[in-house]
Amino acid sequence: MGAGAHIAWFDEIGLGDREQVGGKGGSLGELTRAGIAVPPGYVVKTSAFERFLESLEREAPVRAAVAALKADDLESITACSRALRRRMEGAELPGEVLEELTAAQARLVRAGTEQPVAVRSSATCEDALDASFAGLQ
* Average pLDDT for 2-11: 86
pLDDT tens by residue, 69-102:
999 999 999 999 999 999 999 999 999 999 999 9
CB 126 within 8 A of CB 29: no
109 or 50, greater pLDDT:
50
* Average pLDDT for 19-40: 93
Rounded Cα distance, 68 and 10, in Å: 38
Rounded Cα distance, 20 and 33, in Å: 18
Cα distances (angstroms) measured from residue 118 to each of 11, 16, 56, 59, 65? 17, 23, 27, 32, 33
Using CA atoms of 32, 33, 36, 37 in order, give the dihedral in degrees to the nearest 10. 40
CATH of domain 7-110: 3.30.1490.20
pLDDT tens by residue, 112-131:
766 777 787 766 665 555 55
The domain limits of the chain are 7-110
* Average pLDDT for 51-61: 88
Pinpoint the alpha helices (H) of the chain. 18-33, 46-59, 63-67, 74-90, 95-110
Using CA atoms of 70, 72, 74, 79 in order, give the dihedral in degrees to the nearest 10. -10
